[in-house]
Structure 1
Amino acid sequence: MWVFITLFAAACQSVRTAYQNTLATEAGFLHATMARSLYALPLVTGYLLLCIVLFGGVSLPTDSMFFMAASLCALAQIMATYFMLRVFQSGSFALGTMLAKTEAVLAALIGLPLLHYGLSAMAWLGIAVGVFGALVMSIKWKNLANIHRDASFVFGLGSGFCFAVTSVMASLASHSFEGSIMTSAGVTLLYVLLLQSAILCGLQMVKSRDLMTPFRKSPQLSWKVGIMSGLGSIGWFTAFALVNPAMVKTLGQLEILGTLYYSKYRFSEKMNMRQWFGGVMIIISVILVTAATIK
């Protein structure tokens, strides 16, 4: 089931990222980052209520693990989204998405001591091939010696790391409940979005000195970002709760297909042979990781 949930999440995220890139240009980085959480709240709240009806409620643990993990998840996702939007402005739409795909191997490494998930040799190979494919697409090899000075590269890797922390913390927070894992993932997602909305709306209100600013800037496009983000987040958080986040993020690299489409047809960016070759490697990595889960 996690495979279909992940594919759904990847498809939604591809569309959301394209909308968010446009929103960042129209309304600024802060609003574009905020819109993905604030405007997703109604949809996610309705989804959680549906989960409670269908799968039952959950009991909150007595320790502070949930709040620590979920809060770190919320902050890491804010930073990840901000870094990715910065990449879009300093590089390209495709470049930002590709570099963020290093999150798969980073999620595997971060998750090993925290989640105690094991990975087969084939799964590790698939993750490595996928990350290498993303780097092949993103890096101009003739400039490799000075890559550390490339703002797009730095922001991209920062985004990948923060997204990896987000996925691992989401899984850790969801598993701190007792009860249905579907409802647990929904509760975690709602908490994360509420905290993100409070932080980002507060920053935007202080910056503009207008309490209604979050609702006035590009409302139609903001709703599109929020709805697609909400749908995607429901898929991601549910998948994170079901299996190793590293597996989820590797399979989710099929988002690259949507990225290539939007990069070419929406933002008129040209894709060269090196980038197409990297895309093929990512698809191969997805096949390897998926095959590794079939027993």
Structure 2
Amino acid sequence: MWILITLFAAGCQSVRTAYQNTLAKEAGFLHATMARSLYGLPLVSVYLVLCYFLFGWVSLELDSAFWPIVLVCAVAQIFATYFMLRVFQSGSFALGVLLAKTEAVQAAVIGLFFLHYTLSLTAWLGVVLGVIGALVMSVKWKNISSFHKDTSLLLGMASGFCFAVATVTASMASHSLSGSIITSAGVTLWCVLVIQSIILCAIQIVKSRDICAPFRHSLSLSMKVGGFSSLGSIAWFTSFALVNPALVKTLGQVEILGTLYYSKRRFAESISKQQWVGGAMIIASVVLVVIS
């Protein structure tokens, strides 16, 4: 079941990221980052009500470890999204998404320490191959000697790390609750979005000195970002709660196919042979993970 859920999440995220890239150009990084949480909250709230009736509620103690973990998850996801949008400005749409995909192997390493998840040799090969494929697609080899000076590379790696932290903490938060794991994942996602909405809306309001600022820019496009983001996040958080997050994120590399499509068709960016080779490696990594 987690495979189908993850594939759905990857598809939604591919579309959302394309819209978010456009929104960032029209309304700025802050609004594009905020739209993902604020405009996705209504749909996630409806989903949580459905979870309550279908699967039951969960225990939610005020002194639970859930709250600090979910706070870390929310903040890490804010930085991850912000860094990726910055890569779009300094590099390209495809580059930003590809570099963020290093989160799979980073999530695997972090998960070893905090979730005590282990991977089979085949799964490790899949995770590592996927990351190498993403780097092959994104790195300009003629500039490899000065890669540490490449803003796009550094921001992309930082985005991947923050996404990995968010992925692992989302799983930790869901498993810290007692009750249906499906409802637990929904509660975790809802709390993350509320925290993110409060933080980002407050920053935008203070910065613009306009209490209605979160609703004044590209309303239609913001709703599209929020809608696809909420659908994808529901699927992501559910998968994180069901299996090792590293496997989920490696399978989620199929989003690369959508990235290449939008990069070429929507943003008129050319796809090089190097990127096609890297894409083939990523597909092979997905196959290895599914086999494992």
TM range (shorter): over 0.9
Q: How many angstroms apart in 2 are the aligned matches of 1:34 and 1:62?
A: 26
Tell me the equivalent position of 1:90: 90
Q: Pairwise mapping of residues 31-46 of structure 1 onto structure 2 (< 5 A)? A: 31-46=31-46
Assess if the C-alpha contact under 8 Å between 1:87 and 1:96 holds in 2.
Answer: yes
Match in the other structure for 1:223: 223
Taking only aligned residues, the RMSD between alpha carbons, in angstroms, comes to: 0.7
Matches within 5 A, 1:173-252: 173-252=173-252
With over 3 angstroms needed to count, the CA separation of the structure-2 counterparts of 1:212 and 1:14, relative to structure 1, is same
Matches of 2:119 and 2:63, distance apart in 1: 29
Alignment partner, residue 150 of structure 2: 150
In 1, distance between residues paired with 2:121 and 2:63? 35
- Counterpart amino acid of residue 34 in structure 1: M
The residue type paired with residue 105 of structure 1 is V
What stretches of structure 1 of length at least 5 have no aligned partner?
A: none
- CA apart distance, 1:63: 4.3
CA–CA distance in structure 2, aligned partners of residues 119 and 5 of structure 1: 20
Taking the TM superposition and a 5 Å limit, the aligned residue runs for 1:87-166 are 87-166=87-166
The CA deviation at 1:58 is: 0.6
CA displacement at 1:64 relative to structure 2:
3.2
Secondary structure of the equivalent of 2:214? helix
Equivalent-residue separation in structure 2 for 1:278 and 1:82 (angstroms): 25
Report the Cα distance in structure 1 between the residues aligned to 2:245 and 2:251, rounded to whole angstroms. Answer: 10
Aligned-residue offset at 1:152: 0.4
TM-fit CA distance, 1:61: 4.5
Query: 2:176 corresponds to which letter in structure 1?
Result: S
Give the C-alpha shift of residue 23 in structure 1. Answer: 0.1
Between the aligned partners of 2:61 and 2:276, the Cα distance in structure 1 is: 47
CA distance in 1, matches of 2:126, 2:62: 38
Cα distance in 2, alignment partners of residues 167 and 290 from structure 1: 19
Q: Report the residue type matching 2:275 in the other structure.
A: Q
Runs of 4+ deviating beyond 3 Å: 61-64
Once the two structures are TM-superposed, the CA of residue 113 in structure 1 deviates from its matched residue by: 1.2
Shift of 1:163: 0.3
- Tell me the TM-score normalized by structure 1: 0.98
Secondary structure at 1:271 match in 2: coil
2:52 counterpart letter in structure 1: I
C-alpha distance after superposition, 1:139-186 (max 9, x if no partner): 011110101101100100000000000000000000001100000000
1:2 aligned partner:
2
Q: How far off its partner does 1:68 sit?
A: 1.1
Q: Are the equivalent residues in 2 in contact too, given 1:87–1:155 (CA < 8 A)?
A: yes
Q: Quick one: which amino acid aligns to residue 275 of structure 1?
A: Q
TM-score, reference length from structure 2:
0.99
Number of equivalences: 292
- Matched residue type, 1:229: S
- In structure 2, the residue matched to 1:59 is 59
Distance 1:182 1:49 in 2: 12
Offset, 1:62: 6.4
Tell me if structure 2 keeps the 8 A contact 1:94–1:259.
yes
Aligned to 1:11: 11
Contact 1:61 1:176 in 2 (8 A): no
Structure 2 unmatched runs, 5+ = none
2-structure distance, mates of 1:78, 1:180: 27
**Could you tell me whether the CA contact under 8 Å between 1:61 and 1:178 is conserved in 2?**
no
Aligned to 1:272: 272
Once the two structures are aligned, what percentage of the paired residues are identical? 69
CA–CA separation in structure 1 for the residues paired with 2:200 and 2:44: 18
Q: Which amino acid aligns with 1:76?
A: A
SS, match of residue 270 in structure 2: coil
SS at match of 1:268: coil
Task: Give the corresponding residue for 1:281.
Answer: 281
The amino acid across from 1:270 in the alignment is: S
Distance 1:165 1:192 in 2: 13
